[in-house]
């Protein structure tokens, strides 16, 4: 359950101040599939950063469950990111030197699991996105769609309450886009987690229960 | 995970790892070689000094010779006065023989009471006084020409013309150095460094006896052996032992030396050992205050008196070598830091992503620092290997260095070249020794070198880690570049 109250995020630059989020109030119940749309520079990624505990708002409050993300110290935010939030990026953001298996394991590193448990959980996560046979491949040896599957496995392996995806299909061709969206939707359905997807793609947005629009930092609900 | 990630990064970014490690290795190798050669040069210098001044001597006290005054038989070449009675006429020639025992050239003597003064100085743990002498013997034949010169008629032919221009005469001038020393077994002083080659050294019972210990090199050149006798100052001395000393040609009891040379109660050098090396400057200052006329030298002053290619090597190693290794080390650390920073910058999105998925700052700093540390350590290991090879080469080549120690201010040295009689004067008293440079390897140097490499790695890692720590997790969301 997300509760955002009067959230404003400003970026101070040398000459001017950019208001990336302008007085956003929003509540997202657990288990919802939310699509966020809007023009480039509208504030979509900034909103996702607030939800994912990557940044603190300039003003307002962001609560996830009982945690107040606006005021927690860095280390506590890192802990929330490690346990409760899974992130999927447009650029996949895999570590190029690590294998698919090891990339998935990085998400379990902060949880300090025994290495055997870490390995078996990562292997299971890889299998669940259909890449059980690619565990020892490096990102460069995988297609874009496969890399995004590894990234999804990395986001899921910690069994988070929330999955945040910032334009997860933005770097993929049309056919692969559907595959990835099908995968994400399947995960949402099977696991009952909250899935918040930023997307330019109206076809993708149509699958969502709820559609939000952000333009110039202002949030509007679309029905 | 830490190890896997670290290993993957280092093997994947081989070029960066190689550049950092090789830079570090070069610096470490240089540090090891310079250190080791410097130690070798120091050992060689210490060896030269120990052979001259004995082991454990921290300070020597002597007196600068006064400018030779005319007719001063002590600082000038020994004067021989032949009276009519000294000659023996036989077969138309006169045989002359005389032996003199004088203070060694280039030295001045002073009252032995100075030893008590020195022993009274704080922090002086031992001191001994010596008297450096030179024994010069003259023997020769001069044709008896009294008749010819009185009747005024010239000889029939030109003079036979000896080497010295004295027609028909033959002279033999022989000189060697004699050092009067404390026979009661001083803790410092000339013979403490010497190894006994034959016979025995002095015991307290030798005081007052005409017994002599010879330098083994001199004994060989003069064809003398234990059990034989040697004439010193007109007295016959029993040869009781041979030592490899490198200092004086011969050693006799101090009291005998004083009596024979007519220098009663006089000494020419005092060898002083300080309680600890940190006391040396204070001891030097105190002795200088107590004995204002004396020249008080420390080992460092004495080392400065060593000249020749050994001192050139010493200068080269301590100046150029040290600067070069400091410079290369600084460059290597700088390279490591710059490459680490550029590596962190290149991996901005990677570290941002790791933070976004929950990695703590500390964990990421540890990863960056770990990579740098291992790169430094690889450099250290390579550097130690290269350094050891370098030292091996130095020791295989084993360059020979020459060392000359001038005995301007101290007695007892300069005896290596008997026969300098009538030469260039006081400054001529110098000896040249050939020393093979041996560069020792110590565990300490290797540990320090590896420590430096790891320190370089830690420094680079700290700077890189600091950069990584400042990255915001939101960097992960930077549009795919
Ligand atoms: N770190 C930042 N510093 C300065 N301005 C930023 C920063 N991040 C985002 N912005 C600005 O905030 C606004 C919203 O950006 P963003 O949330 O990334 O938009 P979107 O994801 O909808 O394209 C943009 O004008 C962008 O330039
Ligand atoms: Mg964006």
What is the pLDDT averaged over residues A95-119?
96
Asked if the Cβ–Cβ distance from A90 to B480 is below 8 Å, we say: yes
Mean pLDDT lowest among A49-58, B17-26, B33-42, B344-353: B33-42
Q: Distances from the Cα of B317 to the Cαs of B35, B42, B320, B327, B432, in angstroms?
A: 8, 10, 6, 14, 21
Alpha-carbon gap, residue B176 to B439, rounded angstroms: 35
Give the position of tokens 């020979």.
Answer: B400
Q: What is the pLDDT of residue B89?
A: 54
Q: What is the pLDDT of residue A28?
A: 96
Q: What is the pLDDT of residue B436?
A: 78
Asked if the Cβ–Cβ distance from B4 to A98 is below 8 Å, we say: yes
What is the pLDDT averaged over residues B175-199?
82
A60: closest CA of chain B, how far (Å): 19
Question: Ligand 1 in contact with A44 (CB < 6 A)?
Answer: yes
Mean pLDDT lowest among A48-52, B42-46, B403-407: B403-407
Q: What is the pLDDT of residue B433?
A: 66
Q: What is the pLDDT of residue B126?
A: 86
Express each pLDDT in B291-320 by its tens digit: 888 888 887 777 666 666 777 777 777 777
Å from CA of B474 to ligand 1 middle: 11
Contact B253, B209 (CB under 8 A): yes
Say yes or no to pLDDT of B149 above 50: no
SS3 content of chain A, % helix, strand, coil (to 5): 40, 25, 35
In percent, the amount of chain A with pLDDT more than 90 equals 91
Alpha-carbon gap, residue A15 to B420, rounded angstroms: 89
Query: Coil, strand or helix: which one is A205?
Result: helix
Alpha-carbon gap, residue B27 to B330, rounded angstroms: 8
Say yes or no to pLDDT of B205 above 70: yes
What is the pLDDT averaged over residues B144-151?
50
Return the number of CB contacts < 8 Å for A and B: 94
Edge-to-edge strands, sheet with A33-37? A85-88, A162-166, A194-198, A33-37, A210-215, A218-222
Say yes or no to pLDDT of B156 above 50: no
Q: What is the pLDDT of residue A4?
A: 96
| Residues of chain B positioned with their CB less than 8 A from the CB of A54 | 356, 472-474, 476-477
Residue among B249, B133, B274 nearest B194 (CA): B249
Q: What is the pLDDT of residue B83?
A: 57
Q: Between B363, B477, B481, which is nearest A45 by CB?
A: B477
Q: How many CB atoms lie within 10 A of CB B27?
A: 29
Q: Is A220 left (phi over 0), alpha (psi -120 to 50) or beta?
A: beta
Q: Is B168 left (phi over 0), alpha (psi -120 to 50) or beta?
A: left
What is the pLDDT averaged over residues B454-476?
92
Express each pLDDT in B228-265 by its tens digit: 999 998 889 999 999 887 678 899 999 999 999 888 88
Q: Which residues are near ligand 2, the ion (C-beta closer than 5 Å)?
A: A 45
What is the pLDDT averaged over residues B173-197?
82
Question: Ligand 1 in contact with A51 (CB < 6 A)?
Answer: no
Asked if the Cβ–Cβ distance from A158 to B349 is below 8 Å, we say: no
| Residues of chain B positioned with their CB less than 8 A from the CB of A150 | none
Is the pLDDT higher at A186 or at B307? A186
Q: What is the pLDDT of residue B296?
A: 87
Q: What is the pLDDT of residue A180?
A: 93
| Residues of chain A positioned with their CB less than 8 A from the CB of B5 | 95, 97-98, 102, 106
* pLDDT averaged over every residue in chain B: 79
Displacement of CA A88 from its chain's centroid (Å):
4
Nearest CA to ligand 1 atom 16: A43
Asked if the Cβ–Cβ distance from B350 to A93 is below 8 Å, we say: yes
For chain B, domain boundaries: 2-46+312-399+437-480, 64-70+81-145+160-293
Alpha-carbon gap, residue A204 to A210, rounded angstroms: 12
Alpha-carbon gap, residue B72 to A212, rounded angstroms: 116
pLDDT band at B354 (very low <50, low <70, confident <90, very high): very high
Question: Ligand 1 in contact with A45 (CB < 6 A)?
Answer: yes
Q: Between B356, B361, B480, which is nearest A81 by CB?
A: B356
Q: What is the pLDDT of residue B428?
A: 32
Contact A158, A83 (CB under 8 A): yes
* Structure letter (DSSP) for residue B20: H
Alpha-carbon gap, residue B198 to B244, rounded angstroms: 10
Q: What is the pLDDT of residue B160?
A: 47
**If you compute the radius of gyration of chain A from its CA atoms, what whole number of angstroms results?**
17
SS3 content of chain B, % helix, strand, coil (to 5): 45, 20, 30
| HEC string for A167-192 | CCCCCCCHHHHHHHHHHHHHHHHHHC
Q: Is B57 left (phi over 0), alpha (psi -120 to 50) or beta?
A: beta
Residue among A15, A87, A17 nearest A59 (CA): A17
Mean pLDDT lowest among A65-69, B103-107, B232-236: B103-107
Å from CA of A20 to ligand 1 middle: 6
Mean pLDDT lowest among A103-112, B105-114, B162-171: B162-171
In percent, the amount of chain B with pLDDT more than 90 equals 30
* DSSP letter string, B331-374: HHHHHHHHHHHHHHHHTHHHHHHHHHTT--HHHHHHHHHHHHHH
Question: Ligand 1 in contact with A20 (CB < 6 A)?
Answer: yes
Say yes or no to pLDDT of B465 above 50: yes
Q: What is the pLDDT of residue B443?
A: 87
Nearest-Cα residue of chain A relative to residue B9: A97
Question: Ligand 1 in contact with A160 (CB < 6 A)?
Answer: no
Residue among B209, B193, B301, B291 nearest B245 (CA): B193
Express each pLDDT in B3-53 by its tens digit: 999 999 999 889 989 999 999 999 999 889 888 888 888 777 777 776 666
The DSSP H or E segment spanning A212 is strand A210-215
Nearest CA to ligand 1 atom 26: A41
Contact A25, A6 (CB under 8 A): yes
Q: What is the pLDDT of residue B102?
A: 84
The ipTM is: 0.96
């Amino acid at each position: 359950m997300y509760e955002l109250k009067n959230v404003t995020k400003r970026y101070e630059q040398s000459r001017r101040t950019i208001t990336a989020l302008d007085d956003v109030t929003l509540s997202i119940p657990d288990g919802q599939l939310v699509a966020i749309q809007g023009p480039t520079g509208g504030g979509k990624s900034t909103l996702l950063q607030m939800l994912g505990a990557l940044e603190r708002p300039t003003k307002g409050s962001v609560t996830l469950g009982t945690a107040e993300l606006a005021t927690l110290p860095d280390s506590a935010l890192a802990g929330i990111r490690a346990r409760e939030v899974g992130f999927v990026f447009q650029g996949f953001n895999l570590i190029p030197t690590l294998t698919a298996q090891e990339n998935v394991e990085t998400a379990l590193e902060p949880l300090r699991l025994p290495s055997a448990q870490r390995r078996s959980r990562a292997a299971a996560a890889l299998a669940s996105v259909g890449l059980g046979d690619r565990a020892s491949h490096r990102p460069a040896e995988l297609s874009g769609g496969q890399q995004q599957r590894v990234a999804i496995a990395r986001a899921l392996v910690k069994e988070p309450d929330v999955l945040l995806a910032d334009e997860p299909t933005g770097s993929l061709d049309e056919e692969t886009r559907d595959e990835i969206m099908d995968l994400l939707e399947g995960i949402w359905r099977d696991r009952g987690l909250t899935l918040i997807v930023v997307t330019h793609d109206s076809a993708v947005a149509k699958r969502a229960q709820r559609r939000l629009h952000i333009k110039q930092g202002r949030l509007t609900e679309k029905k | 995970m830490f190890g896997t990630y670290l290993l993957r990064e280092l093997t994947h970014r081989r070029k960066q790892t190689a550049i950092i490690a090789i830079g570090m290795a070069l610096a470490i190798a240089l540090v090891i070689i310079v250190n080791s050669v410097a130690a070798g040069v120091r050992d060689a210098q210490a060896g030269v000094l120990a052979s001259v001044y004995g082991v454990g001597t921290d300070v020597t006290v002597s007196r600068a010779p006064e400018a030779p005054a005319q007719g001063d038989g002590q600082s000038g070449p020994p004067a021989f006065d032949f009276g009519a009675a000294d000659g023996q006429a036989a077969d138309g020639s006169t045989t002359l023989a005389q032996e003199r025992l004088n203070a060694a050239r280039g030295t001045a003597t002073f009252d032995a009471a100075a030893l008590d003064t020195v022993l009274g100085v704080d922090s002086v743990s031992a001191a001994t006084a010596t008297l450096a002498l030179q024994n010069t013997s003259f023997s020769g034949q001069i044709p008896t020409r009294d008749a010819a010169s009185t009747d005024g008629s010239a000889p029939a032919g030109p003079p036979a013309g000896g080497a010295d221009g004295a027609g028909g005469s033959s002279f033999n001038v022989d000189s060697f150095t004699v050092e009067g020393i404390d026979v009661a077994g001083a803790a410092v002083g000339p013979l403490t460094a010497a190894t006994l080659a034959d016979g025995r050294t002095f015991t307290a019972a030798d005081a007052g006896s005409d017994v002599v210990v010879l330098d083994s090199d001199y004994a060989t050149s003069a064809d003398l052996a234990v059990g034989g006798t040697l004439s010193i100052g007109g007295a016959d001395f029993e040869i009781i032992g041979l030592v490899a000393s490198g200092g004086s040609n011969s050693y006799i009891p101090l009291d005998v030396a004083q009596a024979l040379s007519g220098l009663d109660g006089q000494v020419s050098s005092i060898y002083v050992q300080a309680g600890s090396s940190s006391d040396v400057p204070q001891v030097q200052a105190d002795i200088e205050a107590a004995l204002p006329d004396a020249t008080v030298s420390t080992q460092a002053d004495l080392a400065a008196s060593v000249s020749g290619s050994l001192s050139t090597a010493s200068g080269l190693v301590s100046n150029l070598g040290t600067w070069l290794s400091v410079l290369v080390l600084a460059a290597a650390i700088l390279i490591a830091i710059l490459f680490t920073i550029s590596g962190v910058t290149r991996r901005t999105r990677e570290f941002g992503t790791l933070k976004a998925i929950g990695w703590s700052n500390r964990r990421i700093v540890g990863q960056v620092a770990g990579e740098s540390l291992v790169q430094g350590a690889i450099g250290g290991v390579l550097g130690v290997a290269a350094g050891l090879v370098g030292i091996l080469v130095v020791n295989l080549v084993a360059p020979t260095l020459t060392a000359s120690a001038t005995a301007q201010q101290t007695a007892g040295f300069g005896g290596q070249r008997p026969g300098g009689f009538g030469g260039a004067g006081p400054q001529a008293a110098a000896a040249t020794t050939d020393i093979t440079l041996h560069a020792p390897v110590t565990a300490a140097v290797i540990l320090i070198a590896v420590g430096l490499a790891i320190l370089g790695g830690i420094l680079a890692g700290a700077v890189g880690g600091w950069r990584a720590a400042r990255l915001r997790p939101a960097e992960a969301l930077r549009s795919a570049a």
